Structure 1
Amino acid sequence: MRVILKFIIAIILAAVSLVSYWCSSQENEFTGEKQHVDMTVEQEIALGLQAAPEMAQQYGGLHPDREAAASVKAIGQELVQSTRVRETPYQFDFHLLADEQTVNAFALPGGQVFITAGLLKRLQSEAQLAGVLGHEIGHVVARHSAEQLAKAKLTQGLSGAAAIATYDPDNPASRSGAAVAAMIGQLTNMRFGREDELESDRLAVQLTGSAGYNPRAMIEVMHILEEAGGGASGPEFLQTHPNPGNRVAEIERAIKAEYPRGLPADLKE
């Protein structure tokens, strides 16, 4: 009887998780894609603003170089105001972080975008910086954070259901089943993350070109990231981000699709 009850509870939990996920569907006005998200744009903006100070603190706070910080803000706002991003409700702000060692850039839900001084000092042109910021803008307008949260809730629910169904308090070995279920959920979310990165690369090609920057600078950024990472650092399947070399091929395809007759001659480098 206890086994039957355990399976009934697991089935109910899995069903609730699946129904909740599939019923939370919205069309993204920017990309035109149908997405599973369970929060509003206003909630994304509020969440990003709330998390921004804590995230900045993890990287040593904001950089004291006002000129460099102003340059990051200016190029970021140029990407927003000179493209259709300006028509979105997101409140974009661009921040230079004090961390000189970490090579990173990221975006919070709602439009808070960050780049570390460690990455900025490796960039060699405004077009490269525009490519990095355009990629992060792509994450925001594509609502990747909201999607990830919805997917995380789904996988957590399914993993919990699997743990309930397989766990036997009289058999300690059954605990490994719960651990495997949790690992599967984690790896599933990591795969979604890599797909998001590639979509943001494609969006960055569109945004940088529309703002007058050469999108091929993004390929140079990939080489910089690859050099900073010391080459391959393990199987791509176990990495949050795609291998930079694989991203180059995707960027090349995106540029060819966006500019079938070749890039304009007057783009900024």
Structure 2
Amino acid sequence: MRGLIKFIIAILIAAVSLVTYWCNTEQNEFTGEEQHVDMTVEQEIALGLQAAPEMASQYGGLHPDKEAANRIKEIGQQIVQQTDAGNSPYKFDFHLLADEQTVNAFALPGGQIFITAGLLRRLSTEGQVAGVLGHEIGHVVARHSAEQLAKAKLTQGLTGAAAIATYDPNNPASQTGAIAAAMIGKLLNMSYGREDELESDRLAVRLTGESGYDPRAMLEVMRILEEASGGSASGPEFAQTHPNPGNRIAEIEQAIQEEFPERLPAGLTP
């Protein structure tokens, strides 16, 4: 009887998780995709603004070089204002972080975008900077944070249901099932992250080309990131949140061909 009750509880938890996930569906006006999201645009913006100071503090705060910081803002705003990203409801702002060692850039929900000084000093052209910022803008307009939250809640519900169904307090070996369920959930969420990175690469090709920057500069950014990682990934790709930079090069080249099948516009900033 106890096993039957656990099974019923597990089924109910899984059913609620699935129904909640599939019912929270919206069409993304920027990408045209149907998405499962778990927050409104207003909530994304509020969350990003709330988290921005804490995230900046983790990287030593904002960089004191006002000229460099303002140039980051100018490049970012040029991309926003000259593309459909400017028609989105998000409030984009671009920040240069003081951390000289970490090679990173990231976007918070709602449009708060950051790049570390450690990454910026490795970039040699304005087009490369635009490629990085365009990639992060892609995360925002594609609502990847809202998608990730919805997927994480679904995965948590399903793995929790599996753990309840398989766990037996009188049988220590049953803990293996719960551990396996948690590991599977973690790997599923990692795969979602890799898909988001590739989509943001494709969106960055579109955004940079439309705003006057050469999207081919992104190819060099990937080589810079590969060099920064030591030329090899730490472990198999399926266990990483990001695709290997070298593997992203082929995806970017394909995106450039698809976005600009005839030829790239003339006069692009490299």
TM over 0.5: yes
Q: Counterpart of 1:94 in 2: which secondary structure?
A: strand
Q: CA deviation at 1:265?
A: 2.8
Report if aligned partners of 2:63, 2:98 keep a CA contact under 8 Å in 1. yes
Please list, as runs of the form range in 1=range in 2, the aligned pairs for 1:1-269 lying within 5 A after superposition. Answer: 1-233=1-233, 234-269=235-270
Q: Residues of 2 paired with 1:120 and 1:239: CA distance?
A: 23
Report if aligned partners of 2:59, 2:98 keep a CA contact under 8 Å in 1. yes
Q: Residues of 2 paired with 1:196 and 1:5: CA distance?
A: 39
Q: Counterpart of 2:265 in 1: which secondary structure?
A: coil
Q: Counterpart of 1:10 in 2: which secondary structure?
A: helix
**1:174-207: CA deviation from partner (whole Å, max 9, x where unpaired):** 1121111011001000001000000000000000
Q: Residues of 2 paired with 1:266 and 1:77: CA distance?
A: 19
Moved >2 Å (runs of 4+): none
RMSD over aligned CA atoms reads 0.6
Q: Residues of 1 paired with 2:156 and 2:111: CA distance?
A: 26
- For structure 1, the residue ranges without an aligned partner over 5 or more in a row are none
Q: CA deviation at 1:73?
A: 0.6
Report if aligned partners of 2:209, 2:265 keep a CA contact under 8 Å in 1. no
TM-score norm. by structure 1 comes to 0.99
Q: Residues of 1 paired with 2:266 and 2:74: CA distance?
A: 23
Q: Counterpart of 2:267 in 1: which secondary structure?
A: coil
Q: Counterpart of 1:149 in 2: which secondary structure?
A: helix
Q: Residues of 1 paired with 2:251 and 2:10: CA distance?
A: 40
Q: CA deviation at 1:245?
A: 1.2
Q: Residues of 2 paired with 1:232 and 1:22: CA distance?
A: 38
- For structure 2, the residue ranges without an aligned partner over 5 or more in a row are none
1:252 maps to a residue whose letter is: E
Q: Counterpart of 2:94 in 1: which secondary structure?
A: strand
Q: Residues of 2 paired with 1:166 and 1:96: CA distance?
A: 48
Q: Residues of 2 paired with 1:177 and 1:259: CA distance?
A: 49
Q: Residues of 1 paired with 2:187 and 2:60: CA distance?
A: 30
Q: CA deviation at 1:19?
A: 0.4
> Which stretch shows the higher mean deviation, 98-107 or 168-177?
168-177
Q: CA deviation at 1:264?
A: 2.4
Q: Residues of 1 paired with 2:204 and 2:121: CA distance?
A: 20
Q: Counterpart of 1:72 in 2: which secondary structure?
A: helix
1:223 maps to a residue whose letter is: R
Identity %: 77
Q: Counterpart of 1:261 in 2: which secondary structure?
A: coil
2:237 maps to a residue whose letter is: E
Q: Residues of 2 paired with 1:52 and 1:172: CA distance?
A: 43
**1:234-260: CA deviation from partner (whole Å, max 9, x where unpaired):** 211111100111110010011001111
Q: Residues of 2 paired with 1:64 and 1:268: CA distance?
A: 27
Q: Residues of 2 paired with 1:232 and 1:161: CA distance?
A: 37
Q: Residues of 2 paired with 1:108 and 1:267: CA distance?
A: 28
> Which stretch shows the higher mean deviation, 256-265 or 54-63?
256-265
Q: Residues of 2 paired with 1:166 and 1:116: CA distance?
A: 45
